[in-house]
Amino acid sequence: MTLAFQYKKLLWLLLLLPILVCIYFYAKNKKAQVFKKIGDNSLVKELTKSYNKKSFPKKFILKFIALALLLFSIANLRTKTGTQNVNRKGIDVMIALDVSKSMLAEDVKPNRLERAKNLLAKLIDKLDNDRIGIVVFAGKAYIQMPLTADHSAAKMYLSAATPQTIPTQGTVISDALNMCNTAFNNNEKKYKSVILISDGEDHDENALKISEKMANEGVVINTIGIGSVEGSIILDEFTKQEKKDNNGNTIITKLNEKILADIAEKGNGNYLLFSNTNTVVTNLYNTLSSLDSKTVKDESLVNYKSWFQYLLGLAFLFLLVELFISEINKKAIQKTTLSASVILLFFCMPTFAQNVNGIIKKGNNAYLKNDFETAIKNYNEAVQTNKDNSIAQFNLGNALYKTDKKDEAVEAFERATLAVKTPSEKSNAQYNKAVVLQSNKKLDESIVAYKEALKNNPNNDDARYNLQLALKQQKQQEQNKKKEEKDNKKDKEQKDKKNDKKKNDEEDQQPKPNKSNISQKDAEQELEALLQKEKDLQDKMHKANITNPNKQEKDW
């Protein structure tokens, strides 16, 4: 049993797997950076105490295998189970279809190419016992489908033929005929035919020589001309605009019947002008039926068994298992509010004096009614009575926070931290202090308080979550600060540059005296000589004006 992929090109998608590996190591490195920022190793251990470190690589491996199975499944892994032998009596027919852009002309509706494909599809339905192959051509020729008895596949390939199939435009019929000839069995001198359908737009002289050669090898060439002799414009299939040549003239494509008729004559076949689909199909079928046929065993229909459904099932199973693997043993509670220790509002320790308990109870009632000012007054009174009363200090901090007296609330929580006895109570007081500091934009101090809360109670999930949030905010602030400093530096440089340019421009506008290398005496002598020359010139002009008093002066 040989395994093979039907769509081998899709295996390129396996390149996604190394990308997934890179993402895994990036995420792992990111986690390490977060732990490194906390700094305290003992604190890191407490922070990660509720996490299952082994689950992260396990989840990745399961996802990796699932993705690989999905990629193999879409490439359709299959095995060959055998061939379906078909005994038939017929001939081998190669169809040469012109897919050049001139075939988009609409002198035959909807256009030449669509009508040609419709004609060939109906002809294929009639050729039950014949093997069909397809060659498409324009400026070059390509085998679209080799000879096969699978007529459904032939019609599918035929419908997919468009001008985009061939990158080079033109109508090179000789290449198409050569390509058809290579598909035949050269040892046979009959049972072979070519159906060429084109508008014969370009005159291909080599086509006649090749047609004659193929006829000598037993190939019968029938041609079909599609289009009009008068010609038609070509509409671009995307823009729907008329195609023009390099000189801007509208292109008119005309049917070249002569070349197609000559090819059919040289190829011992018939030329048919497309007029009516059924008529042309009937004439072609009768022509092909008149050829000698042979009995052959066709093994082109191969049976396969696909395995993609099993691969999909395994991929789903791996993903399902991955869902049940959690990275944390206890679900983190994501809160940024004050600790639930406000429940102390409803309890009073019997060891305290009855009057302190009564004052705290009044404060509690006011707190529940959102009368925080009265609550603060009562809690302060209880603190003055007994400054070591941790419940009064704690609840005072909560009430102060509610009235936006954040600095006083921090002090109250600090006193509560000193007053409480158990690590859990200390953790709650430190946590509330950290929340107030964080809301007051004092991130550095809040981070220290969150760490202290976790040291006293490693199971304080609120403190763990808020610590991570505060570290993230701290990083963002540092990035914003660096960006602001960079922007300010850039603005200052631009401003200094502008001021320097302005200063230079002002200096350039000031007249600058030329330095002279002559002495003052020489300068005075030159000045006197210039004045004398000016005087002599004026005397000459004066004399000239006297001699010719009517002379006019020209100003252009």
CA distances from 11 to 19, 67, 296, 316, 531 (A): 15, 12, 37, 20, 99
Cα–Cα distance measured from residue 28 to residue 513, given in angstroms and rounded to the nearest whole number: 73
| 355 CB-near residues (< 8 Å, 6+ apart) | 385
Query: What are the CB-based long-range contacts (under 8 Å, 24+) for 401-410?
Result: 401/338, 401/432, 401/435, 401/436, 402/370, 402/372, 403/372, 403/373, 403/376, 406/436, 406/437, 406/439, 406/440, 407/440, 409/433, 409/436, 410/436, 410/437, 410/440
- At 349, list the tokens: 């320790």
Q: How open is the CA angle 373-376-381, to the nearest 5 degrees?
A: 130
Q: Cβ distance 199 to 226 under 8 Å?
A: yes
End-to-end CA distance of the chain: 106
Closest CA to 222 of 163, 184, 256, 177: 177
Q: Say how far apart CA 241 and CA 233 lie, in whole Å.
A: 10
Q: Determine contact, residues 78/305, Cβ cutoff 8 Å.
A: yes
β-partners of residue 93 are 132, 193
* Contact present, 360 and 379 (Cβ < 8 Å): yes
Task: Determine the pLDDT at residue 499.
Answer: 75
| pLDDT value of position 543 | 56
Does the reported pTM lie above 0.75?
no
Domain with CATH 1.25.40.10 in the chain: 340-476
pLDDT in tens, 315-340: 999 999 888 887 665 444 344 455 44
* CATH code at 340-476: 1.25.40.10
Q: Which residues contact 153 (CB under 8 A, 6 or more apart)?
A: 145
Nearest to 97 by CA among 192, 194, 184, 198: 198
Angle (CA) 131-132-136 rounded to 5° is 160
pLDDT at 169: 81
DSSP characters for 160-176?
T--GGG-SS-S--HHHH
Residue 428 and residue 462 in contact, taking contact as beta carbons nearer than 8 Å? no
CB 74 within 8 A of CB 10: yes
What phi and psi, each to the nearest 5 degrees, are found at residue 403?
-95, 15
Residue 402 is given by DSSP the state H
Q: What is the pLDDT of residue 523?
A: 65
**pLDDT at res. 518:** 53
Residue 65, pLDDT score? 93
Q: CB–CB of 219/96 below 8 Å? A: no
Q: Which residues of the chain have pLDDT under 70?
A: 1, 34-51, 82-88, 203, 293-304, 327-354, 503-524, 527, 530-531, 533-556
Name the burial class of residue 223, with classes exposed (0-12), middle (13-18) and buried (19+) by CB atoms within 10 angstroms of its CB: buried
Which residues belong to CATH 3.40.50.410 in the chain?
Answer: 92-292
Q: What is the pLDDT of residue 481?
A: 83
- Match domain 92-292 to its CATH number in 3.20.20.70, 3.40.50.410, 2.60.260.20, 3.40.190.10: 3.40.50.410
CA dist., res. 350 & res. 52, Å (int): 42
